[in-house]
Amino acid sequence: MLSRTISTQLSNCTSLQYLDLGMNFFTGVVPDLSQLSQLKFLSLNLSMFTGRFPWKSLRNLTRLSFLSLGDNPFDKTPFPLEILNLQYLSSLYLSNCTIEGRIPETIGNLSLLESLQLSINYLVGEIPVGVTKLINLQMLELYDNQLSETLPVGLSNLVNLAEFDVSTNLLFGDLSELRGLSRLESLHLFENNFSSTIPEEFGEFKYLRQFSIYTNKFTGELPGKIGSWAEFEYIDVSTNYLTGSIPPDMCKMGKMTKLLMIQNNFTGRLPENYASCTSLIRLRVNNNSLSGRVPDGIWSSPNLGITDLEMNQFEGQVGRNIGEAKSLAHLFLANNRFSGELPMEISNASSLVEIRLTSNLFSGEIPVTIGSLNKLSKLLLQDNKFSGAIPESLGSCVSLNEINLAGNSFSGQIPESLGSLASLNSLNLSGNKLSGVIPASLSSLKLTLIDLSNNMLFGRVPQPLLLVAYNGSFAGNPGLCADGSKDLRECSPVSHKSCQVKLAMYCFIAVAVVLMFSLSYLLFLKLSKIDCKSPMNRGSSWDVKHFHVLKFSEDEIVRSLTQENIIGKGSSGNVYKVDLKCGEQLAVKHMSSAEILPKERTRWPEYEAEVAALSSLRHMNVVKLYCCISIEDLNLLVYEYMPNGSFL
């Protein structure tokens, strides 16, 4: 690339025939070129020249066949009449070089012109009839000016025309003058005021590859065969008043990349043929009256970056094969009649940036696998019939900046994980059945909008969220409170203290209940040990007479009256050795009269006599009697244990 200025000594190259200084970074003005009379090719386009171009120099360059001066910020000038003297000119490129005014009628004198490009200037008025004399024209580009009126009569004379672009002007009328231009490959008429119908002849244009007429006032139907002959690349007829069905064969050659038919009145189904059109990059047919099910192959189309079917009457479910749509970035299905669950496989469409399913009949839960969509920035599911919990995995969609789940039947708590979405600036969960407290983690978000209204939330609203809330952000949640908010009840200190008292009371009751059950269980264990299984146990209470301080209980004594603890036998009963838990030992004499006395007599003279004597006796050579235990026909004397000794 060259830079700086062009030397004035260039004019000394008088025999120069070919001069190409295009696509450089020159400064300053173009020097006088009048001495270069042998020039046939002159290209200075996109070289950053400024100032006034030396148009008068062109008077001497009569041999020029190629002139390209476009894309330079020259001073404004009317169409340079000097150009009209260049009779050998076949290509003229003056786009984006600040030409103003009208195109002269005498442009038709340049009869050898094959390419005329005057786009992105300040041209006004009608397209001159003189243009229709340029029968060798193959390219006519006049886009992005302020041209007006209708297409000139006689334009159909340009039978060799392959590229015609008059988009972004103020033209109006019909397209009747284009009916005979059967060699057209590229036709761009968008952003004008054309009306009437599309000529049926367009369906027979066998070289047509590009057809763009959006933002006009066209009516009627598209020709049924349009785009079915050549390797058709794209069609954009958006923002018109077209009706009828979508032509079915525009991807017949498998090269179509864009099908754009936004905001018309098309009806019927999306043709099945487009299910196999794997070359599609953009499919946008939103804002029409299309209906029926979407062809299954559309969901899995491998190169589709945007699928926009919004504002129609489509029905059915999203295909499970959507996981194969690896290029899909934008899925727009809002305002249709789609139903069923959102397939889990959607999480495999890893390029998804925006999911917009607003106002349909979708149901079921959000797939928990949605967290794998780390490019997802917008999730708009409002006004459907979704239910279940909002998955915690949503917090793994780290690029999310807008979540709208309003008007569904989501339940459970707001996931804490949403607080980790650093890019989130809009959160709308209104009109659901969410409960619990508002997660404190949401306070760390830099939200510009939050709407949690009409749920079943309770507790204190985190203070930072009140700063971004509007009047109704938390309305319809009777359990919510906030300090200093006119829309929510006050979380007053009194009520706060009351809550603490209630909490303490509940804790006390809970502890009391636990203790009561524990004591009841211990008592049950104690009583259950004295049951009918042992012949030593009875249903009545023990009668205990103690003569010294006791370090044991009657239960501990009775449990030890087993066969292996017998150390002696006598006529009145057995003697047992008892090892206490405290380490001491006792001797227990069991005296039973059940088999020798009548039932009404439960005590016998021998037992009573021994108790009476030993209880009052105090002597160093006599063993100590601790107590006597009796119940019904069972009588126990509990002595101090003397190894290798007797009781007396």
* Residue numbers belonging to the annotated binding site for ATP: 589
Return the closest-CA partner of residue 404 out of 447, 373, 443: 447
Q: Is the dihedral of CA 618, 623, 628, 634 positive or negative?
A: negative
**How far is 574 from 304, CA to CA, in rounded Å?**
100
Residue 349 CB coordination number (10 Å): 23
- What are the two backbone dihedrals, phi and then psi, of residue 145, each rounded to the nearest 5 degrees? -130, -160
User: Any residues with CB less than 8 A from the CB of 451 and at least 6 apart, and which?
Assistant: 406, 427, 428, 429, 430, 470, 472, 473
**How far is 206 from 185, CA to CA, in rounded Å?**
8
Residue 48 CB coordination number (10 Å): 14
User: Any residues with CB less than 8 A from the CB of 508 and at least 6 apart, and which?
Assistant: none
Q: Is the dihedral of CA 58, 64, 67, 69 positive or negative?
A: negative
- Which residue is associated with the tokens 């490019």? 375
Return the closest-CA partner of residue 47 out of 6, 100, 102: 6
Q: How many residues does the chain have?
A: 648
Residue stretches of the annotated binding site: 589
Residue 409 CB coordination number (10 Å): 14
For the chain, how big is the Rg over CA atoms in Å? 50
Q: Which two tokens stand for residue 496?
A: 């706060």
User: Any residues with CB less than 8 A from the CB of 503 and at least 6 apart, and which?
Assistant: none
Q: Which residues pair with 18 in a beta bridge?
A: 41
- Amino acid code (one letter) for 604: W
